[in-house]
Structure 1
Amino acid sequence: MAERGTFLRKMAPRGASALLAGLAMSAPAMAQESLATDAERVVGQIFERAEPVTEAGAHGFFQLLGNQPIAFILLALAVGTFIGRFRFKGISLGSTAGTLLVGVVLSMIAEAAFGITYSIPGILSSFMLLLFMYALGLKVGPQFFSGLRRGGLAFVGIGFMVWSLNWVICYFGAAMAGLAPGYATGLISGSYTITAILGVGQSALDSGAFTPPDGISVAEVGANMAAAYAISYVLSSVGIILLIRYLPRLFGRDATADAKQAEAEYSGGSTDPVPGAPGALVMNFSPYDLRAFTVTHESLLGRSVAQLAADFPEAPILRLVRDGVIINLEDNPTIAPGDIVTVRANVHDLILEDGELIGPESDEPLARNIPMEVADIHIGSHAISGKTLAELDTQAHGGVEVQAHFRAGNELPLGPNSDVRFGDVLRLTGPDAALKAVARQFGGRAILPSFKSEVLYLALAMLVGYLVGIATVRIAGIPFALGTSAGCILAGVAVSYFRSRNPEFGGPVHEGARSFLQDFGLNTFVAVLSANVGPKVISALGGDTILWLALIGTAGALIPPLIAFWVGIKVFGLNSVISDGATTGGRNSTPGLNAIIEESGSSVAAVPYPVSYALTTVLALIGGYFSMILS
């Protein structure tokens, strides 16, 4: 028994150790199993949220577009832009109309064939539209006030004509066709593509300003408005884009040539873009150029760089290369035989004089590879105010040349006797370091080309424009507001206007970034809009009423702009592209504006747009309210 007890005592620790060892060995396995379980749970949650398509084939495809609105938007953009590029006998839809058409067709097929109703939050489309309007304002700001001075009254007249003709066609057309109450207001709203008109029409119903006749309920009148709006909206949206795009051509005008002429007229004779405008910081042709020479002339040998700069200020040395090494000019080195010097001066003088004076020209890449920049500098020093360009002698400051001179946003003639005043803007070309040094001397900052986006000014300016646009005043129960679109385009106009006077005001904005905001913003807005309006078109189909809605809505959308454009070029004597811009503003058609911009290759059509747009936005709301009351 003693031996047995001893054996058990000896085995007990060994058994406990084995048990602990087994547990220790199983710990990693248990941890791995736990991690695997967690991973499966996380992956499962991801796929649960992805809402996978449960149907195959076409049904599954349209269900996918419904579950994933981003996929719908991107598909409409891609296919619509692709279709918009095709031209038939010189006519094309363009990217905006193409995107709208593709989006409407997709949403109608989903609704009619599979009972899938697409609905994308309107905040996305609203924000994209505001981005488009702000970017457009940045483009046309410097020309906006010049356009007002030249044709403000004509722009107002065109806008009023478009609105009044539209109201007459839609209201009396609905009355002559015997359409029930609500259809006229819906036709005005859809043909004008202003959804807010439905709101004032509904307000007239809710307030009791209009009482439906016996046998018709308030809900039925509202349904009539929605049906008329949906049908006329789609037809007028596509139709107005094509009409506005080709109005100049219909009347025998060349949109591209007329746009260039309008740009020249509204620029006031300027040959350089104002500060902050697209293409401002682009180096134009200059008689000054970089040249490299091997020093052989004895009169230069043994003299310092500073001495040569004092003796030859018209051809300053920008770089010195000796035995394949760049010598620091700040050390004021002495010229030695065989040195290669780089100068920037008038090519004419270099060919006739300096080539013989310095020595043979060199093609040494190290000497010639001096990056040249273009910069706008705001004059902020009173010490140089009143001096002439000859007195300032920018060429002596490291080969800096004056390319253009602006005052209060207007380009001034350039010459040695041009006086520079506080607040002016000089556009200079030269090496980067030299430009920054001159900017410090002039009391400003060198605004150089940049690929960065100025998000701070964009956000603040759009916020101010948005708040101004939503400010509402009620008169006789009718809400009046400038509108967020008009507010944001005017915000862009204001930023570009102030930037033309001081390029340090939120600049520069790269033209590629601005152009992308303009194109992508509008087309995304149209894609979202097409998804939401397609189902409404389906619900409005049926009976002969749809034929009247299509006919009256299309006539109200297209006939007024056609007449107003003709009056603009024949009566007011406007340039065809300017008349087109005023017409599309009077029609409140932002996609139409983009169409004429694409056709003419210029944004000058946007100059009159805000004037007629703001006027007719107010008039359309008033007209919509009274169209309901008079029903």
Structure 2
Amino acid sequence: MLWQLLAAQPEIALFASLAIGYLIGSVKIGPIQLGGVCGTLIVALILGQSGARISPDLKNIAFALFIFALGFTGGPQFFANIGRGWRYGILSIVEMVVVIGLVLGAVAMFKLDQGTAAGLLAGAATESAVVGTASEAIGRLGLSAADTARLQANIVTAYSVSYLFGLVTIVLFTSQFAPLLLRVNLREESERLWRKLGGDGALAEGQSLAAPPLVGREVKVIGAAGQTIGELEARYGHNISVQRVTRSRSVIRAQPAVVLKPGDRILIGGRREAVVQAIPAIGEEVFGADVADAYADKLDVMLTHRGVHGLTVAQVRERASPADARGVFISAVTRLDSTIPALPGTELHRGDVLTLVGAREDVARGAAKLGYVVRATQKTDFVFLGLGVLVGIALGRLSARMGGIDVTLGTGGGCLLAGLLFGWIRSRYPLIGSLPSAAAQILKDFGLCTFIAAVGLSAGADAVRLIREYGVALPVAGVVITLGPALVSLFVGRFLLKLEVPMLLGAIAGQQCSTPAISALVGVTGNSTPVIGYTITYALSNVLLPLMGPLIVGLAGKFG
């Protein structure tokens, strides 16, 4: 009865796959968590035994929206990291070359078909988008409908099996085995790196700083009498700023030329260590209600200034003129969907979102020098979105012949490139192309999982056959293909590129596009230093790996 209902109304099977799949994916066993995509696929493979099928048109639309949103959100970071992020970018190249080589080795050894090879690549690299680009490539091979459906089903089954083993492998490798191979204490290394970058200590999961890095205090002037405000701020490297001066109950505008007098009450703000150091030299801290009407503004700014790319937070302050830097501080840095520590030694990249803190006029001035203000909005520019997807579909029709292999981007590859381009345009011209982060996230999540559920339902009948045919070969191949690039990257990153261990391990998790791996790493290290390396390789691999889908389909046809 249930099977008949699902076959008659496949939309029930679709939403059941999403709901139950995300429930399964949310279960966490130690550091391992499957995630909603893999959970959805497992449930869809089971429900697919009922014969429920989703329209191919819906599947294609869902994938186009997902892949465009993926490129759109990653565009600024991708282009920013192509040049100056070359050391980490090498690891993404290592990932692609080694994975392709190992998959082709598995094709020759086990006589894998093109669908199984592509699924093995997607699962071992834990990159779900490859399922879509490879499925499109198989659809263009000119095979019969039955053969096309069989190969596309093999992609999904091979992906689901190898993903499970690849996920466990990369999580355990980055958080447990790699530190043993390098003979380092990962937590101690992370604490050392945190201090090197200018941090005061390490944070465990769920913790926050009891002593925040940015503070404000009211001080009665004694020792600093006779100094100008500009001289006082310069004395502490402009890491403090005088926000207000109260003299004989009159408020004086805090200009650099103002000379402080004994008994003045000044409101200072800035980095905690500088404020603590400055108070005894200025006078004595006072407590009262005079600062109750003083506020600090927060402003999110997309960094677009070319000259700031690659500089640390401390270098940005040092190179700015006192008039530009005065009274504005960077309290947080968001890169892609991750928050990285805004320490003095943290490198900034174009496309980062910087949270500026200070007086309203100060943060507005800082925003104008660094980039553009990210305004909170709930409106999506559907003209920009629709045009972007159309351009992607047009690009997807382009094809080229490489070494006797026809390579076509397809809708997936075309929409990915269009998303990159339109995301970059948005970062340069912020008045057009609004796509709020929440809207982009729902496009990515719902688009990908709808696509995965649709292909999982259609592949359900063939899943058992493929698993019986290859047995333990797929799980073993998944582990080897995951470990291969991770081990090579560990050697290259540590001994050739001389990367810091926490950042290197974060970069290995990023080249694998593995969110569970970076989550486990942050838990082991006790701070966010691995995220700095993770964001760079994640941005690059998230774009480059999906483009490998059509390539592996073509190569597997030659080597199989």
The whole-number CA distance in structure 1 between the counterparts of 2:71 and 2:188 is 22
The whole-number CA distance in structure 2 between the counterparts of 1:198 and 1:492 is 20
> Which residue in the other structure is 2:327 paired with?
400
Distance 1:242-1:344 versus aligned 2 partners, 3 A rule: closer
TM-score, normalised with respect to structure 1: 0.55
Equivalent in 541, 544, 554 of residue 609 of structure 1: 541
The whole-number CA distance in structure 2 between the counterparts of 1:259 and 1:452 is 40
TM-score, normalised with respect to structure 2: 0.61
The whole-number CA distance in structure 2 between the counterparts of 1:167 and 1:606 is 24
Equivalent in 98, 105, 117 of residue 161 of structure 1: 98
Deviation at 1:348, TM superposition (A): 5.3
Equivalent in 11, 15, 24 of residue 83 of structure 1: 24
Contact 1:144 1:607 in 2 (8 A): no
Matched, 1:536 2:459: yes
2:554 corresponds to which letter in structure 1?
Answer: I
Secondary structure, in 3 states, of the residue corresponding to 2:103?
helix
Matched, 1:184 2:75: no
> Which residue in the other structure is 1:177 paired with?
none
The whole-number CA distance in structure 1 between the counterparts of 2:479 and 2:305 is 50
> Which residue in the other structure is 1:619 paired with?
551
Deviation at 1:489, TM superposition (A): 6.1
2:10 corresponds to which letter in structure 1?
Answer: G
Secondary structure, in 3 states, of the residue corresponding to 2:407?
strand
> Which residue in the other structure is 2:207 paired with?
none
Matched, 1:565 2:479: no
Equivalent in 326, 347, 360 of residue 432 of structure 1: 360
> Which residue in the other structure is 1:66 paired with?
10
The whole-number CA distance in structure 1 between the counterparts of 2:98 and 2:354 is 44
Aligned residues: 472
The whole-number CA distance in structure 2 between the counterparts of 1:58 and 1:531 is 18
Distance 1:616-1:540 versus aligned 2 partners, 3 A rule: closer
1:191 corresponds to which letter in structure 2?
Answer: L
Matching of residues 286-365 of structure 1 within 5 Å: 289-291=216-218, 316=242, 318=244, 342=267, 347=275, 351-352=279-280, 354-355=282-283, 361-364=286-289
Distance 1:149-1:559 versus aligned 2 partners, 3 A rule: closer
Secondary structure, in 3 states, of the residue corresponding to 1:474?
strand
The whole-number CA distance in structure 1 between the counterparts of 2:296 and 2:453 is 49
Contact 2:136 2:410 in 1 (8 A): no
> Which residue in the other structure is 1:470 paired with?
396
CA-to-aligned-CA distance 1:88-108 (integer Å, 9 cap, x gap): 354332333223323333x23
- The runs of 5 or more residues in structure 1 that have no matched partner are 1-56, 175-182, 207-217, 273-283, 301-306, 381-387, 405-412, 415-424, 585-591
CA-to-aligned-CA distance 1:453-510 (integer Å, 9 cap, x gap): 69569849955983685252232885424566566666777788899xxx87539999
Matched, 1:93 2:34: yes
CA-to-aligned-CA distance 1:552-607 (integer Å, 9 cap, x gap): 5545544333333333334675834434544x4xxxxxxx5344344445343415
The whole-number CA distance in structure 2 between the counterparts of 1:392 and 1:196 is 49
Equivalent in 402, 407, 410 of residue 480 of structure 1: 407
The whole-number CA distance in structure 2 between the counterparts of 1:226 and 1:429 is 51
The whole-number CA distance in structure 2 between the counterparts of 1:78 and 1:250 is 32
Distance 1:233-1:289 versus aligned 2 partners, 3 A rule: closer
Matched, 1:593 2:531: no
CA-to-aligned-CA distance 1:404-459 (integer Å, 9 cap, x gap): 9xxxxxxxx99xxxxxxxxxx999753103444x469xx75885564336956984
Equivalent in 370, 376, 393 of residue 295 of structure 2: 370
Superposition CA RMSD, Å: 5.9
Contact 1:186 1:226 in 2 (8 A): yes
The whole-number CA distance in structure 2 between the counterparts of 1:492 and 1:290 is 46
Same amino acid, percent of matched pairs: 14
The whole-number CA distance in structure 2 between the counterparts of 1:514 and 1:565 is 31
Matched, 1:131 2:84: no
